[in-house]
Amino acid sequence: MTGESGIDFPIIELLFFAYRDFTSDPDQILAQYGFGRAHHRVVHFVNRMPGLTV
């Protein structure tokens, strides 16, 4: 269902909760190393591009 503005708030809320649940386990693992999501992104791209300098 969409509101008067055409925005489907129930779908947006479902996406929010799904994303939160999907990322909660990796966030806990990263926190053990003092890392956050930004650190995870850097590690991911450096791993995918050997020789990349930061």
Are the beta carbons of 25 and 40 closer than 8 angstroms?
Answer: no
At 1-54, the pLDDT tens digits run 566 678 899 999 999 999 999 999 999 999 999 999 999 988 888 899 988 877
- The residue among 20, 41, 46, 17 whose CA lies nearest residue 30 is 41
| pTM of the predicted protein model | 0.57
Number of other CB atoms surrounding residue 39 within 10 Å: 12
Two structure tokens written together for 40 = 């995870």
CA dihedral 32, 36, 47, 20 (to 10 degrees): 100
According to the model, what pLDDT value does residue 1 have? 58
